[in-house]
Structure 1
Amino acid sequence: MTQTVDAAIVGTGPNGLAAAVTLARAGLRVELHEAAASIGGGLRGEAYFDSDVRHDVCSAVHPMAAASPFFREFDLTARGVELLGPEIGYAHPLDDGRAGLAYPDLDATCDGLGEDGRRWRQLMEPLVEHSTGLVDFIMSGQRSLPGDPAAVLLLAARLLPRRALSGFRGDVAPALLAGVAAHAVGKLPSLAADAVAMLLGHLAHATGWPLPRGGSERIARVMADDVRAHGGTIHTGSHITSLRQLDHARAVLLDTTPTQLLTLAEGRLPAGYARQLRRFRYGPGATKADFLVSEPVPWTNPDVGRAGTVHLGGSHTAIARRERLAVRGEPTDEPFVLLVEPAATDPGRAHKGKRPVWAYAHVPNGDPRDPVALLRSRIEKYAPGFGDTVLAARGVAARDYESYNPNYVGGDIGAGAMTLYQSLARPVPRLDPWRTPLPGVFLCSASTPPGPGVHGMCGHLAALSALRNRFGVREAPALGPTAPGVRA
């Protein structure tokens, strides 16, 4: 006979784990169900080619893990997760060998941008000064008044039509900024993409774009350890196909997309709510390749090799054109690419002349193309001879990403298009979007506010909603490693 629990959570990605941490810290009996053989979702790691070299399966760099309210209180550093700041947060090589370089130091970045340094400072410096207030407002899901109204006004002023890219004279700074905006994985320019550019762009000069020493799986591991330490249980290889399997739980939290909620509910959702879920849109896909290489990437511009993240896309107009093609479902041989060479920041990730390279491109949703040749060609454009360093490679087409993780519908790693509307109304327009019409059932995935990224806030906010609405608990539990009990 199945034992009754307070909360059952489906999915152990960063949001499912954050929900579990929050509920277990509140004293509830929590169980997690993971269909895969290992926990972590987007935080998994694998030794694909060599037992000594680990590859990040999905996420690799974590600006939001360093900045989000959940992880600030959870305190990864105190739990032994060392977030390593790269010498250069992100880099953007251009076709002629020049490159935009976003240093942690704003002054160094502005100096490198020459005549456009002043404009970069005008955009970023006020946001850096109000960084905590800005991050807290965006990460709250915008369901409460901002603690720092000035931060919100500063962001709003930068989201006026084409405001972010206006005022630059050269082509390096606009390309550098467009590469960050492309993290929205959608149409460029757009208000949603500009907001992403301002959020992630200023973080490079604030809390940074760090990599966890040893890989992203370290984050999942310490979150799971905390759940178990507070009485929670984790079941891997546990495939939930119906909510009826979880009738023994007083609350159910789903780290899933709206599509999966519709399937799990088996027709029990109210017709109007179900129609809204069916209208939820998914964005372009990601197609990813992992390379095992014999030496550092031979960038034309050596400074690019000092960066934690590299954006490959050329000019800002070229990036916008290619992102629009992906949105329209039109494949191109020159997609926008993000690349991370972890050992450039974390030398321990290399072993005896072997090092991992992580790269993915934005492509049409469901794109079936094998990414290895596509990505190798794009990297070669900015690093001639890269192919000669490749010892082994594997690729996952956008179409196949959903098999790895059902949340990645058609390869959409953001679990839903980041349009302006869906940035605010994920998955439906409700004051409490984490709560579904089914009693005790909540959504806690990136398909809810504040959206994609390894920040844990979708799960944390869903858990707080469950505490209020299902258990009558209105005080948020303390999350710190040495702070038991409930925060006053």
Structure 2
Amino acid sequence: MPDAIIIGAGPNGLAAAIHLIQHDLSVTVYEKEASVGGGTRTRELTLPGFRHDVCSAIHPMARSSPFLQSLPLGDYGLEWIQPEIPVAHPLDGQPAGALYRSLDETTDHLGKDGESYRRAIAPFLDAWDNLLPDILAPFSLRPRHPLLMARFGLQALRSAGGFVRRFKTPKARALFAGLAAHGILPFDKTATAAIGLVLGIGAHTVGWPYPKGGSHSITKAMAAYFESLGGSIITGTAVASPDQLPAAGAVLFNTTPKQILDMAGEKLSPDYARKLRRFEYGCGVFKLDLALSEAIPWTDERCRKAGTVHLGGTFEEIAASEDDTAQGRHPERPYVLVAQQSLFDDSRAPDGNHTCWAYCHVPNGSTKDMSEPILNQIERFAPGFRDCIIGRHSMNTVAMHAYNPNYIGGDINGGKQDITQLFTRPAGLFDPYHIPDTHFYICSSSTPPGGGVHGMCGYHAAESALKQLSAGSIK
């Protein structure tokens, strides 16, 4: 019997497995699919030779993750690519906004809003390595750097709508809207400025890179390193009910509360099970992958140099789009995230061709085909784009959920990330990872710090399990 088993071989499950085996535990990982990966798989979705990331694509959080950066993943094939410009945001009839790696270049680009942007971002750049471990952690009354965390919190706990009042130009306001919209929440909600700040700071500290060959390179490297330490990964094996749970000293679920209730509900206390049933899932996504005969013909040259392009126009347009989605409506002009990895990674498409990765936000469980609204938004800022399309593949929320059971109703964040579910998700406990009175733990994005490829949910869950082990409660 292994000391610990992990259910689910996505980034968080593999992070938990690695941390446990680094402490001399025997660990086995179970994955229902034929390969590891979760939200980081790369496949030929459209045409042969066109390699598309099925879910996650751009990885500032993986590149800055305290745990992932402590691992020798470069020795196992992980190679990062930095686009010339991390992110661009086109606007109608005026130059696009852009975040550059250089803070000075960004402030110059933002003109009269440059100094306001500098005052918001600069205080955290040199201290980012100290601050990030507190940000990517569960709620604590004693953060490692309390004054620094308090200073960051004064900005991050604001709504995105409140935060952008410091900016006067449409360019700066829209640029921050594109960052904040990654949180998939209306802009009037508390703490919606947080993700915008984290991603903005990330652009100047680690950039917005992506792995050569596709996002699958991240989890392939993690799996190879884990196996080099003596760990075991069993793929093609589903664990979906109590009678399928293997025996182990500790069981870590890289799943959302819904699957935990299915797999282990009878072993949970009624109070805890009730809390899991009340856990809220957020809006979903509609995903569109395209094979292109040439690069996207953006009107603005900055967009042709960016790894990521945010579409949706002004702050007000994006705010309306996110509010529509939260209210169960499908916006005619949605906020669209576009990644164009093949501009800087020629392994993604045949010579002369390119890929386009795009998605928009939709109501949870939506079955509406949003291909045309997405294509319209790209064509809006890249006239002639449709003529470049030679293949396409789409996934609505049902298809996203079928691809990864953690994407309940198309929610790629493992649950709504509003202020009530941000720090102590999923059940409001000081140790959000340990399921009380059991040898079970949750290591998925349904725990702090939530969605994103950073592995920190898995790391903290493993830490919780190790504390129980040292107290003699596991074996």
> Could you say which TM-score interval applies, normalised by the shorter chain?
over 0.9
Counterpart of 1:339 in structure 2 is 338
- Taking the aligned partners of 2:28 and 2:153, their CA distance within structure 1 comes to 41
Counterpart of 1:305 in structure 2 is 304
- Taking the aligned partners of 2:323 and 2:49, their CA distance within structure 1 comes to 40
- Taking the aligned partners of 1:212 and 1:406, their CA distance within structure 2 comes to 24
The one-character-per-residue Cα deviations of 1:336-368 (angstroms, maximum 9, x if unpaired) are 110000022323323222221100001111110
Counterpart of 1:6 in structure 2 is 3
* Identity %, equivalent residues: 42
Counterpart of 1:220 in structure 2 is 219
Name the aligned partner's letter for residue 236 of structure 2: G
Name the aligned partner's letter for residue 298 of structure 1: P
- Taking the aligned partners of 2:139 and 2:269, their CA distance within structure 1 comes to 26
The answer to whether the 8 Å contact 2:80/2:209 transfers is yes
Is 1:156 the counterpart of 2:124? The answer is no
1:66-81 equivalence runs, <5 A: 66-81=63-78
Q: Note the C-alpha offset of 1:281.
A: 0.6
Q: Note the C-alpha offset of 1:229.
A: 1.2
Worse-matched range after superposition: 75-84 or 325-334: 75-84
Q: Note the C-alpha offset of 1:150.
A: 3.6
Name the aligned partner's letter for residue 171 of structure 1: P
1:436-475 equivalence runs, <5 A: 436-470=435-469, 472=471
Counterpart of 1:54 in structure 2 is 51
- Taking the aligned partners of 2:242 and 2:456, their CA distance within structure 1 comes to 24
- Taking the aligned partners of 1:163 and 1:126, their CA distance within structure 2 comes to 19
Alignment partner of 1:100 out of 85, 97, 100:
97
- Taking the aligned partners of 1:303 and 1:416, their CA distance within structure 2 comes to 34
1:144-293 equivalence runs, <5 A: 145-158=142-155, 159-160=157-158, 162-293=161-292
- Taking the aligned partners of 1:200 and 1:365, their CA distance within structure 2 comes to 24
Counterpart of 1:478 in structure 2 is none
SS at match of 1:435: coil
- Evaluate the alpha carbon distance shift between residue 146 and residue 77 of structure 1 in structure 2; reply closer, same or farther with a 3 A threshold: farther
Counterpart of 1:380 in structure 2 is 379
Counterpart of 2:107 in structure 1 is 110
The answer to whether the 8 Å contact 2:59/2:208 transfers is yes
Q: Note the C-alpha offset of 1:473.
A: 8.4
SS at match of 1:125: helix
Name the aligned partner's letter for residue 169 of structure 2: G
RMSD: 1.7
The number of equivalent residue pairs is 471
SS at match of 1:98: strand
- Taking the aligned partners of 2:409 and 2:286, their CA distance within structure 1 comes to 10
- Evaluate the alpha carbon distance shift between residue 132 and residue 277 of structure 1 in structure 2; reply closer, same or farther with a 3 A threshold: same
- State the TM-score, normalized to the length of structure 1: 0.93
- Evaluate the alpha carbon distance shift between residue 371 and residue 39 of structure 1 in structure 2; reply closer, same or farther with a 3 A threshold: farther
Is 1:417 the counterpart of 2:427? The answer is no
The answer to whether the 8 Å contact 1:365/1:399 transfers is no
- Taking the aligned partners of 1:301 and 1:188, their CA distance within structure 2 comes to 27
Is 1:133 the counterpart of 2:130? The answer is yes
Name the aligned partner's letter for residue 344 of structure 2: T
- Evaluate the alpha carbon distance shift between residue 47 and residue 213 of structure 1 in structure 2; reply closer, same or farther with a 3 A threshold: same
- Taking the aligned partners of 2:427 and 2:457, their CA distance within structure 1 comes to 14
- Taking the aligned partners of 1:471 and 1:254, their CA distance within structure 2 comes to 20
Name the aligned partner's letter for residue 101 of structure 2: P
Q: Note the C-alpha offset of 1:279.
A: 1.0
Q: Note the C-alpha offset of 1:125.
A: 0.8
Counterpart of 1:361 in structure 2 is 360
Structure 2 unmatched runs, 5+: none
Counterpart of 1:63 in structure 2 is 60
Counterpart of 1:477 in structure 2 is none
Worse-matched range after superposition: 107-116 or 51-60: 51-60
- Taking the aligned partners of 2:190 and 2:379, their CA distance within structure 1 comes to 32
SS at match of 1:178: helix
The answer to whether the 8 Å contact 1:407/1:415 transfers is yes
Name the aligned partner's letter for residue 290 of structure 1: D
Worse-matched range after superposition: 446-455 or 73-82: 73-82
The answer to whether the 8 Å contact 2:268/2:438 transfers is no
The one-character-per-residue Cα deviations of 1:25-56 (angstroms, maximum 9, x if unpaired) are 21111111111122100110101234333111
Alignment partner of 1:83 out of 51, 74, 80:
80
- Taking the aligned partners of 1:56 and 1:25, their CA distance within structure 2 comes to 30
The answer to whether the 8 Å contact 2:138/2:423 transfers is yes
- Evaluate the alpha carbon distance shift between residue 178 and residue 43 of structure 1 in structure 2; reply closer, same or farther with a 3 A threshold: same
Q: Note the C-alpha offset of 1:163.
A: 4.6
The answer to whether the 8 Å contact 2:343/2:354 transfers is no
- Evaluate the alpha carbon distance shift between residue 418 and residue 26 of structure 1 in structure 2; reply closer, same or farther with a 3 A threshold: same
Name the aligned partner's letter for residue 63 of structure 1: P
The one-character-per-residue Cα deviations of 1:395-426 (angstroms, maximum 9, x if unpaired) are 00013211111100110000100101100120
The one-character-per-residue Cα deviations of 1:180-219 (angstroms, maximum 9, x if unpaired) are 0001011213233101111111111111111111111111
- Taking the aligned partners of 2:417 and 2:375, their CA distance within structure 1 comes to 28
The one-character-per-residue Cα deviations of 1:321-343 (angstroms, maximum 9, x if unpaired) are 11011111111221111000002
The answer to whether the 8 Å contact 1:126/1:154 transfers is no
SS at match of 2:43: strand
The answer to whether the 8 Å contact 2:46/2:289 transfers is no
Name the aligned partner's letter for residue 175 of structure 1: A
SS at match of 2:169: coil
SS at match of 1:231: coil
Counterpart of 1:35 in structure 2 is 32
Counterpart of 1:483 in structure 2 is none
Structure 1 unmatched runs, 5+: 475-488
The answer to whether the 8 Å contact 2:432/2:447 transfers is yes
- Taking the aligned partners of 2:232 and 2:75, their CA distance within structure 1 comes to 23
Worse-matched range after superposition: 439-448 or 238-247: 238-247
The answer to whether the 8 Å contact 1:131/1:151 transfers is no
Moved over 6 A (4+): none
- Taking the aligned partners of 1:396 and 1:221, their CA distance within structure 2 comes to 24
The answer to whether the 8 Å contact 1:242/1:266 transfers is no
- State the TM-score, normalized to the length of structure 2: 0.96
